Structure 1
Amino acid sequence: MLGHYPHAGGQALRYGLACVLLLPLAGRGGQAVVGPLRALSGWQWGRLAALAAVGMVGFNLAVLAAERSAEPAVPGVFVGCAPVVVAVIVPALDGRRPAPVVVAAALSVAAGAFTVQGWGRTDTAGLLWSVGALAGEVGFAVLAVPVLRPLGPRLLSAAACGLAAVESALLGLVLDGGGWLRAPDGGETVALLWQAAVVTVVGFVCWYVGVQRIGAERATLFSGLIPVSAAATAPLVGTGGYGPAQAAGSLLVALGVALGSNLVGSAAPVQDHAGDEGRVVVHGDVAAAGEAHQPGGGDRTLGPDTLTGQQHSVAGAPADGDGHIGDVVREHDAAPGREGGLEPGRLAHGPRLGDHRLG
């Protein structure tokens, strides 16, 4: 429905409207929005701008450019590899080892997405733009990690949409000149409203809440459900069929999501390997920034037999935010004050605090 509407102008309208809808949801008053944004450092604002440019505007541009010379399945297959890339790059950025279970699950999801979509005709340009789409999908998760905790899912989504609207408008002026924006017709208006209100407002907030609760590595596994959903609904709208290949691919995706997100096995999002975040207690339910903590079904009380004789509980570090006893543990031989040496607004991994929250 938007195939003939100026791309950059359409994205500017979509993200601008989404920002307007998100801001009232981001806080109960102006200070609840302005305060956290003013507290961001220049580096964090840079991450937000990169998130909007790479994960939102750039991703959409790359997909459209790829489909000029490649069948839609080609960028779809590349984007389907995002769980594998995220499962490796997020731990590497945090100085820890990838969780073997999550990597195996990501490979299953990627294989399932490929099986569902198949492959298609393409050329070199189509492949390169598809790689760009993959980079955008990965950036949408990875670049948000340092700013999700101080902003929370709703304010993060609002700020990113506002920046994406400005970036789309500037891109439209450069690429399309005076024709970058026009009044949409009836069908285009409906499509833009759907993109803004449902795909962006609802979709982005749900996505970042998921990232906040189970981490980017596990949350990105669920992107494999996109081609499965498309294949399952294709017969209903007359755009394709659902055959044995789609069924087999759907099973691979479902297996990977269930295994990697702890739907099979442990109910709480704890570390998968003894060497990963070995001195961090991870909650199954984490409150968003500025919201009261509501215990969820995934929380488990830290029992007296959880700590070894060489460890003891200490109060939460100043940057930890929630102040729960037992969130941080340290060994007797750790350097004094080490447990509080965190960068404000950031969680760490391995010897530091677990960044998940999100991933």
Structure 2
Amino acid sequence: MNATTTRGALLAALACLLVGGSFTANSVLGDYPYAGGQFLRYALACLLLLPAAGKGAADRLRALTPRQWSRLALLAAVGMVGFNLAVIAAERTAEPAVPGVFVGCAPVAVAVLVPLLDGRRPQRVVLYGSLLVAVGAFTVQGWGRTDGTGIAFSVCALAGEVGFAVLAVPVLRPLGPRLLSATVCAVAALESAAVGLLVDGAGWLRRPDTVETAALLWQAVVVTVVGFVCWYMGMQRIGAERATLFSGLIPVAAACTAPLVGTGSYGPAQAAGSALVGLGVALGSGALRRAERKRGPRGRAFRGNGRPEYRGVRVPERPE
């Protein structure tokens, strides 16, 4: 990998690891009003992101077309507010693994949709890698109890995860990762407030206790501010198809952190699934192919000067 690709892969991986670790924070917010929590999270994140948006942010926002603003509103509604709502609704009648399995299929959907929307064929290697990632995510999480409603909301959660990547592609270039993150957080905060007033009425927002405050701060500062910026910076460098491969790290991170708080265990199935996710990411991102190109035929390893070595013994050059 070159420096740009490597940096993009690391940024996307970090973002997904942060999201996976945030599931622990979600577990302590079960009694807090959903819309109010989302409003506080995204409003605080927007305030923190605005100073980092860079010079000319206002001009870039004014230059957006109505269609681009509509896309930003849809991105916030589907990929942020709607995604979180769908996961919560799914977990009312299904075990958490069920929406997790559906969300784990996001790399496959993005690997197909993004090229088709761009007028090109899906890349076979990326598609194969995304399938491995999806199988690995399923292996890590397993399958749980559910019903038709749980499956329906899990499908909605999958649509939200896919929309978070696909809908951002046309507006990432004009806004950049930081301003895009700040803008969608502002829109999501407004949408959350509207949902709260419609659904919960006057009780949509209350003062959180100490534990809820810590969880909301983690979600706002670490997962949203750091995670969103890293995600879109990674996507800017390696593209939505390859960046979404790293979403397979979300269930892996959740499985690794669950034993720390006593909400789960990490066993052979989780280890096998983690290995499949790693293999799928390496294959889809092109890391395996680049490693093979550095080796010559029949196992010969080439140095920078193009001269092969066999078992550490350098082969002398032929006389001209």
TM-score by length of 2: 0.81
Matching of residue 96 in structure 1 with residue 123 in structure 2: no
Equivalent residue in structure 2 for 1:14, among 31, 41, 48: 41
In 1, the alpha carbon distance for the partners of 2:38 and 2:245 equals 26
Partner of 2:295: none
Residue 68 in structure 1 maps to residue 92 in structure 2: yes
Q: Tell me how large the CA RMSD over aligned residues is.
A: 0.9
Give the match for residue 159 of structure 1: 183
Which residue of structure 1 lines up, in the alignment, with residue 298 of structure 2? none
Q: How much does 1:185 deviate?
A: 1.3
- Superposed displacement of residue 243, structure 1: 1.5
Pairing 1:227–2:254 present: no
Q: Which residue of 2 aligns with 1:178?
A: 202
Deviation for aligned residue 1:34: 0.3
> d(CA) in 1 for partners of 2:234 and 2:286?
13
Q: Does 1:81 align with 2:81?
A: no
The Cα shift of 1:239 comes to 1.7
Give the match for residue 164 of structure 2: 140
What's the % identity of the aligned pairs?
76
CA distances 1:47-74 after superposition (whole Å, capped 9, x unpaired): 0000000000000000000000000000
Q: How many residues in Structure 1 have an aligned counterpart in Structure 2?
A: 264
Question: Which residue matches 1:347?
Answer: none
- Cα drift, residue 230 of structure 1: 1.5
Q: Counterparts of 1:109 and 1:87 in 2: how far apart (Å)? A: 12
Matching residue's letter, 2:158? L
Aligned equivalents of 1:153 and 1:100: distance in 2? 28
More helix by share: 2
In structure 1, list runs of 5 or more residues that go unmatched: 268-359
**What do the CA deviations read for 1:242-290 (whole angstroms, capped 9, x no partner)?**
21111111111000011111222238xxxxxxxxxxxxxxxxxxxxxxx
Residue matched to 1:294: none
Distance 1:172 1:227 in 2: 29
User: Are 2:146 and 1:119 equivalent residues in the alignment?
Assistant: no
Per-residue CA distance 1:88-121 (angstroms, 9 max, x = gap): 0011111100000000000000000000100000
SS state at 1:208 partner: helix
**1:54 equivalent in alignment to 2:81:** no
Q: How does 1:168-207 map to 2 (within 5 A)?
A: 168-207=192-231
What is residue 351 of structure 1 aligned with on the other side?
Answer: none
Residue in structure 2 matched with residue 237 of structure 1 by the alignment = 261
Which residue in 1 is equivalent to 2:50? 23
* Aligned partner of residue 71 in structure 1, secondary structure: coil
- Matched residue SS, 2:286: coil
- Please give the secondary structure, in 1, of the residue aligned with 2:144: coil
Match of 1:128 in 2: 152
The amino acid of 2:30's aligned partner reads: G
Alignment deviations for residues 186-224 of structure 1 (CA, whole Å, 9 cap, x no partner): 111111111110000000000000100000000000000
Q: Deviations over 1:5-37 (max 9, x none)?
A: 110011011000000000000114xxx210100
Counterpart of 1:57 in structure 2: which amino acid? V
Unaligned 5+ runs, structure 2: 1-27, 292-320
Per the normalisation by structure 1, the TM-score is: 0.72
